[in-house]
Amino acid sequence: MIRKGYSDGPSGQIHWRMLVPEAAGSQPDLYCLQPAPFSGLAWTGIMPHLAKGRRVIAPDFPGYGGSDGAKPDPSIAEYAQAMLAVVTDLSGDREVDLAGFHTGTLVSAEMSLTARHHVRRLALVDIPAFDSETSAKYLDSAARPLEITENLTCLEKPWKVLTSRLESQSTDRAFEMFVEQLRPGKLMNSAFHAAFTYDARARMPDITHPALVLATQSGLLEPTRWAGQNIPSAIVVERLDITRAVLDEAAELTASEILNFLDEAQP
């Protein structure tokens, strides 16, 4: 059963979900970091597949899900500090593993660079490691505040995201994710500001922790390949048979690759 709780963060309370394995284990805690514009809820489908001898924790970034600290122009560094507050609260000074998906990969990378002693291994799935020109283009188009209007036209884009998921997710799950992305209101897209103002191509070559770069068949395939080639410690795995719903429909496949990597160094 997934339990919920809160940790104190730099800008208020940080909400998290935790799944404790049925059988006791000694593996490091695994923190799963969200894609924009959702929350830790995005990981709930895959958490049971990951909780093999380890606690799995999926926090919400500030301003998302149940977390405080909403702001229109957050940074990846601020998200990293908030996530590190959760790590310190729940895992103490023990080393932990990080898994990120989309925006969560950038936060994982930054955590590994700013708190090296806390991090053991990174599993990075579909990385938006864009060049500056591409980031600027997406910043202009994706990071705009949600304009809330009296009619439903403001919800057309999020609703299209829901309907596009119906072939790979249940109606209930797709609707759950639709509602979750709307929770921040007009600041729904603020995490895109953090993602597209982060210089991934300058930061990622400095990563020294063992890192899995997992590429699926998605629009992030080429930037993920770039990351795999430029993170010195990276092990690159391409699963081009995964074409959608990486954390839901493909949860078992994705989890298998993550666990194979996280567990390979264990005695």
Instruction: Name the residue type at position 240.
Output: L
Q: Give the pLDDT confidence score for residue 80 in this predicted structure.
A: 98
Q: Give the pLDDT confidence score for residue 163 in this predicted structure.
A: 87
Q: Which residue has the higher pLDDT, 267 or 53?
A: 53
17, part of any domain: yes
Torsional class of 159: left (φ above 0), alpha (ψ -120 to 50), beta (otherwise): alpha
Name the helix (H) or strand (E) containing 228.
helix 221-230
Mean pLDDT for all residues in the chain: 94
Give the pLDDT band (50/70/90) at residue 233: very high
Cα 123 to its chain centre, rounded Å, is 10
- Dmax (CA) of the chain: 59
181, part of any domain: no
Interval 148-182: pLDDT, tens: 888 888 888 888 888 888 889 999 999 999 999 99
254, part of any domain: yes
Q: Give the pLDDT confidence score for residue 155 in this predicted structure.
A: 86
Give the pLDDT band (50/70/90) at residue 265: low
Q: Give the pLDDT confidence score for residue 152 in this predicted structure.
A: 85
Interval 75-105: pLDDT, tens: 999 999 999 999 999 999 999 999 999 999 9
Residue with tokens 């895959």: 46
Q: Give the pLDDT confidence score for residue 62 in this predicted structure.
A: 98
Cα 228 to its chain centre, rounded Å, is 17
Interval 33-44: pLDDT, tens: 999 999 999 999
User: What is the spatial order of strands in the sheet that 30-33 belongs to?
Assistant: 3-9, 12-19, 56-59, 30-33, 96-101, 119-125, 211-216, 234-239
Q: Give the pLDDT confidence score for residue 267 in this predicted structure.
A: 43
Q: Give the pLDDT confidence score for residue 143 in this predicted structure.
A: 87
Which one, of 205, 50, 23, lies nearest residue 129 by Cα? 205
CA dihedral 184, 187, 189, 192 (to 10 degrees): -110
**pLDDT at 197 > cutoff 60:** yes
244, part of any domain: yes
154, part of any domain: no
- Positive/negative CA dihedral, 132, 203, 120, 38: negative
48, part of any domain: yes
8 A C-beta contact, residue 12 and residue 69? yes
182, part of any domain: no
| Domain containing residue 49: CATH number | 3.40.50.1820
Domain that holds residue 120: 3-143+188-263
Q: Give the pLDDT confidence score for residue 86 in this predicted structure.
A: 98
User: Hey, what are 136's tokens?
Assistant: 């600027």
Q: How far apart are CA 236 and CA 105, in angstroms?
A: 14
Calculate mean pLDDT across residues 139-152. Answer: 88
Q: Give the pLDDT confidence score for residue 81 in this predicted structure.
A: 98
228, part of any domain: yes
Q: How far apart are CA 78 and CA 114, in angstroms?
A: 11
What residues pair up with 99 in beta bridges, in sequence order? 32, 123
% of residues, the chain, pLDDT over 90: 85
Instruction: Tell me how many domains the chain contains.
Output: 1
